[in-house]
Amino acid sequence: MRPQLSSLALCTVALCACDSDAIVEDPEACSTGEVTVFSNLPTSKPVDADINLLGSAAHLDGAAIHKLWIRLERPDSTGVAARIPVKRDDENFASWSALVPVALMREYAVDNTVTLRVDVDETCEMAESVELGRLQLDPEAGIVVTDLALVVDYPNANIDALPATTGLKGVLEISAADTAAGVTVAVTGEGLQFPDVGSASVKLALEGDRARGLLSIRSEVPGSKLVIATAKDAVATSVIAVAGPPAISPLTWTLKPDASVPIAVGSQGGVASNIRCQASPHANLEVISGGVDLSVTPGGVDQDQDGRLDLTARALMTAVAGDSVSITCTDGFGQAGPAATITVEEG
């Protein structure tokens, strides 16, 4: 008889059972009858952890049941199976229990489905097996996620940032201990884009001694972005820098002859991005950074270590009203912001 699948599964097995635990070869010493087996097979939702089966068994003729086993079978009829001994908690298996590891269920599952059977052995060397039910496993059942980590590979080896305007992508490597192979990691981050996938998630695959996955990543919003990866109960975070084009402050200024103005240059978003500045040449105006004339040698120096280049524009004594110089700055990605203009006014 096939079992009735519910929260309480019932199997009925027709077999021969003995009245004692001794092996008896005389078939007339055996009584033919049925063994009923009840269990709390969890069929209402996918299984994601070890299950502790509790049940009871009884021979309808009152004869002895020698052993019960829980058999795990692949549902593709290949014959591959494993058996777990049932613990007899009361006389003649009137109550019994069996711990079924989720890792073992995964091993014998096909398309996340595993078949459980009850094997009944009795002392007359008779045995019978009947299907207890089929369990649907959570796709990530038995996967253990530890040591979840994020590493960002930026597109420019010399700049620890993504560019906001060029479309260049970085690569986010997500890894965990080898027991996490097969888990799906969800990734979130405000202002971040994952252009090569339909959703911000990746399934980890075993590579060497780690489970790894890769996601392309970019952003059009300058600044520091928090990226969060979650897999089961594990969480990992990292900060991704996004550099906007260089920003010059002030963008416009007027000077009298023999006067100067300090100028600061940083990226939009405040992320270091190898900025270099150049000034247009003029006989009556100069733009200096770190003692270098930027009309001769492009560059710039962060003299006060605040993450911005420090420039000084100065009008010489010979400057006259209307003289002007422009300053342009470009970062290591080729991003350029608006040019600044310094103009001489009447002295």
More confident: 49 or 2:
49
Comparing 9-136 with 149-243, is the CATH topology the same?
Answer: yes
pLDDT digits (tens, 9 = 90+) for 121-171: 765 555 667 778 888 998 888 889 999 999 999 999 999 999 999 989 999
Total residue length of the chain:
347
Average confidence (pLDDT) over 295-323? 95
pLDDT for res 89: 87
How far apart (Å, rounded) are the C-alpha atoms in residues 88 and 68? 8
Tokens of 206: 């075993």
In the chain, where the domains are located: 9-136, 149-243, 246-344
Q: Which superfamily does CATH assign the domain made up of 246-344 to? A: Immunoglobulins (2.60.40.10)
More confident: 240 or 15:
240
Average confidence (pLDDT) over 295-321? 95
149-243 domain in CATH 2.60.120.10? no
Q: Which of 320, 297, 300, 321 is nearest to 309 (CA)?
A: 300
How far apart (Å, rounded) are the C-alpha atoms in residues 236 and 250? 40
pLDDT at 28 over 50: no
How far apart (Å, rounded) are the C-alpha atoms in residues 37 and 40? 10
How far apart (Å, rounded) are the C-alpha atoms in residues 229 and 223? 19
| Beta-carbon-side half-sphere exposure of residue 116 (alpha carbons within 13 Å) | 34
How far apart (Å, rounded) are the C-alpha atoms in residues 133 and 115? 6
How far apart (Å, rounded) are the C-alpha atoms in residues 236 and 213? 14
Band the pLDDT of 235: cuts 50, 70, 90.
Answer: very high
- pTM of the entire structure? 0.69
pLDDT for res 77: 64
Tokens of 159: 């700049």
* 8-state DSSP, 26: -
pLDDT for res 11: 53
pLDDT digits (tens, 9 = 90+) for 193-213: 988 765 689 999 999 999 999
Q: Which superfamily does CATH assign the domain made up of 9-136 to? A: Immunoglobulins (2.60.40.10)
Under the phi-then-psi rule, with left for phi > 0, alpha for psi from -120 to 50, and beta for the rest, what region is 92?
left
Tokens 């829980």 found at: 70
